[in-house]
Chain A
């Protein structure tokens, strides 16, 4: 076959029935390309490369493609251990995907060994913006300046407190996890979340400890009234897909 192939992930071989009816990007049917005990999870790629590139420059289109990519990766992760690929990894044809599996067999095996039996958990911590933003307009300029300086001091204290709290939670979670990777804090404009995102981290945890881990995260955050926690997952191990990604790799 000569049609280009979009690769979502590679994983250990699993029952092909597990992907029955799964639809990927642009409504293409998802299938597997196998080599020994490895499989690549693929679908026919959009044939117009320039059009795809242009689409990924548009946020609304990008969101659709990203969600489709993610849905296939998540579905595969329920079937077997996977290494998720970065968005838009495309090969000329099935033969080239075969070559990839053959040439990098050892590397993929090592990655899959490391990730087998694990899930990624996303933990975000927020601190509320508690100080009133504006000083009360008051009679004297001096009183106004005093108010302002008190407010700055209080804010500094709040930030120092938040930094210590984040450190405490992150350290405790890291001790419980197999690996950790800090993402950039999300700007509120992108996430729509309330408060300032002060920690945006992914932790790799043994699958059977997923619930314990998320409960620990919630408990640690509850200890501090200034913190709000958001737990996401389980995720396929996106944040630990490359050997150099994790803190401890």
Chain B
């Protein structure tokens, strides 16, 4: 099967914000423009998304609602969120919820 113009015939399906961010932040040609703007590393963004969840409506508007499908978070995410102003580096050390804790 040939597809002369997939731009017109294909749905851009399945791509999420993470797909777009990893391309526009991590890929693409780097040219030193006249104005230097440092961009966040995508790993750091993961951490920032956690902080952002404090603003649930905003995150939902962006299509981010993973905590709703994560039982370990949906009931606890409110109190797991750090206080505003806490350093990001502190968050980097926060362990994931353990998966194999004997009950």
- Which positions in A face B, CB cutoff 8 Å? 4, 7, 45, 49, 52-53, 56-57, 59-60, 62-63, 66-67, 69-70, 73-74, 77-78, 83-92, 96, 100, 111, 119, 122, 133-135, 137, 144, 148, 151, 181, 183-184, 186-194, 200, 202, 207-212, 215, 230-235, 238-239, 241-242, 245
Contacts and interface: CB of A to CB of B under 8 A. Distances in A.
B10 A234 contact: yes
Contacts of A187: 46
B86 interface: no
A86 B24 contact: yes
B7 A192 contact: no
A174 B30 CA distance: 25
B21 A239 contact: no
A137 B103 contact: yes
A7 B45 contact: no
B20 A67 contact: yes
Nearest to B19: A232
B1 interface: yes
A191 B16 contact: yes
A188 B26 contact: no
Contact of B2 (A111, A133, A208): A208
B52 interface: yes
A67 B19 CA distance: 11
B27 interface: yes
Interface of B: 1-8, 10, 12-31, 33-35, 37-40, 42-43, 45-46, 48-50, 52, 55, 58-59, 62, 64-66, 69, 99-103
Contacts of B42: 184, 190
A59 B45 contact: yes
Closest 8 CB pairs of A and B: A192-B66, A210-B6, A238-B23, A211-B3, A238-B27, A86-B28, A232-B15, A90-B35
Given A85-B28, A238-B24, A190 B18 contact: yes
A179 B54 CA distance: 41
A151 B22 CA distance: 35
30 contacts: A56-B37, A59-B45, A60-B52, A60-B62, A62-B45, A66-B20, A66-B24, A74-B7, A85-B31, A86-B27, A86-B29, A89-B31, A111-B29, A134-B102, A137-B102, A151-B100, A183-B22, A186-B18, A186-B22, A190-B18, A190-B45, A191-B66, A207-B6, A209-B3, A215-B1, A232-B13, A232-B19, A235-B15, A235-B23, A239-B23
Given A188-B66, A192-B66, A212-B1, A87 B28 contact: yes
A92 B42 CA distance: 27
A181 B12 CA distance: 20
Given A84-B24, A238-B24, 13 more contacts: A60-B59, A62-B21, A66-B25, A73-B24, A86-B29, A88-B33, A148-B100, A192-B64, A207-B3, A215-B1, A232-B15, A234-B6, A234-B7
Nearest to A69: B24
Given A190-B49, A192-B16, A239-B23, A84 B100 contact: no
B29 A85 contact: yes
A78 to B, nearest CB: 4
Contacts of A84: 23-24, 27-29
